[in-house]
Structure 1
Amino acid sequence: MATTVLRTLTVGATSLALATCLQACSTNTETTAPTTTAASDTTAGTHAEKPIVIDVRTPGEFADGHLEGARNIDFNGANFTSEIETLDRDASYVLYCRSGNRAGQALKKMEDMGFADVSNAGSVKQASQQLDIPVVTGTN
């Protein structure tokens, strides 16, 4: 009987150690990790087509380096809201900026305006890696 109890305790301790290790290994410790809304997926959204990529930085920041094909809508610009209002509310959008902060604020504003499939890909570098889109320069 003592052997059975010892085996049960050993199996339980091993299971607990494995679960703890798996949890620790899967925890994202990066402080600027991209965030998504509950109704969105950062890489593909809920639509079959590719998401529309929006850079919410200033035109100067955009010209210095942006994701190829991205649209520039300056979050701090006077026309941000009017430009966002022209977009299809049923499409999928991925936002990014320098650090993810402005993209997070823009995401909230877009959700408040009725957009359901919007995600924050974080910084230019994070968005490039996540979406597998190269960074280019200029004002395309």
Structure 2
Amino acid sequence: MDLSQNDWWTKAQEDKNSIILDVRTAEECEEGIIPNAINIDIYKGQGFIYQIEELDKSKNYYIYCKAGGRSGQACNIMNQLGFETTYNLAEGFVQWEGPVTL
């Protein structure tokens, strides 16, 4: 499900079962990350799948990338793998106005 920046961040903060997932490349992460995000690069293909399958499926995942496309794909992949709750940050990190960790 795509969420606006405010809805995504508010929901992630209020959700005691939330995990923030950054699916950008390591180079992109050098621009900063949303606090407490776990980085798993979607471009790693099967490696991405292996890392995702190690995650707890009972958690709620708040996913972002640079512009919202890859995180949308990640949501779809995770849903196919049995993750029930995934939220895509619409418009991604380029539009992000919330907190950032370098």
2: distance between equivalents of 1:127 and 1:91? Answer: 23
The CA deviation at 1:127 is 5.3
Q: Give the TM-score normalised by the residue count of structure 2.
A: 0.80
1:55 partner amino acid: D
Cα distance in structure 2, aligned partners of 1:112 and 1:128: 31
Confirm whether residue 62 of structure 1 aligns to residue 44 of structure 2.
no
SS of aligned partner of 1:67: coil
Contact 1:96 1:127 in 2 (8 A): no
Question: After alignment, is 84-93 or 118-127 more displaced?
Answer: 118-127
1:106 aligns with 2:71: no
Q: Does the 8 A contact of 1:44 with 1:50 survive in 2?
A: no
In the alignment, structure 1 residue 94 sits paired with structure 2 residue 62: yes
Structure 1 position 68, deviation (Å): 1.4
Instruction: Give the alignment partner of residue 93 of structure 2, picking from 124, 127, 130.
Output: 124
- Note the aligned Cα RMSD (angstroms): 2.3
Rounded to whole Å, the distance in 2 between the matches of 1:81 and 1:128 is: 29
Q: TM-score, normalised by structure 1?
A: 0.60
State the partner residue of 1:19. Answer: none
Contact 2:68 2:89 in 1 (8 A): yes
Quick one: percent identity of the two aligned structures? 35
Q: Distance in 2 between matches of 1:125 and 1:50?
A: 26
Is 2:25–2:43's contact at 8 Å kept on the other side of the alignment?
yes
Counterpart residue number, 2:101: 136
Aligned length: 95
1:44 Cα deviation (Å)?
A: 3.0
Can you list the C-alpha shifts for 1:67-118, whole angstroms capped at 9, x where unaligned?
1111100011141000000001110110001100000000000000000011
- Is the CA contact 2:63–2:87 (under 8 Å) kept in the aligned structure 1? yes
Q: Please, which runs of 5 or more residues in structure 1 have no aligned partner?
A: 1-33
Quote the residue 1:22 is aligned against: none
Structure 2 residue matching 1:136: 3-state secondary structure: coil
Compute the displacement of 1:50 (Å).
4.8
- Following TM superposition, where does structure 1 have runs of at least 4 consecutive aligned residues deviating by more than 6 angstroms? none
Matched to 2:44, the amino acid is: G
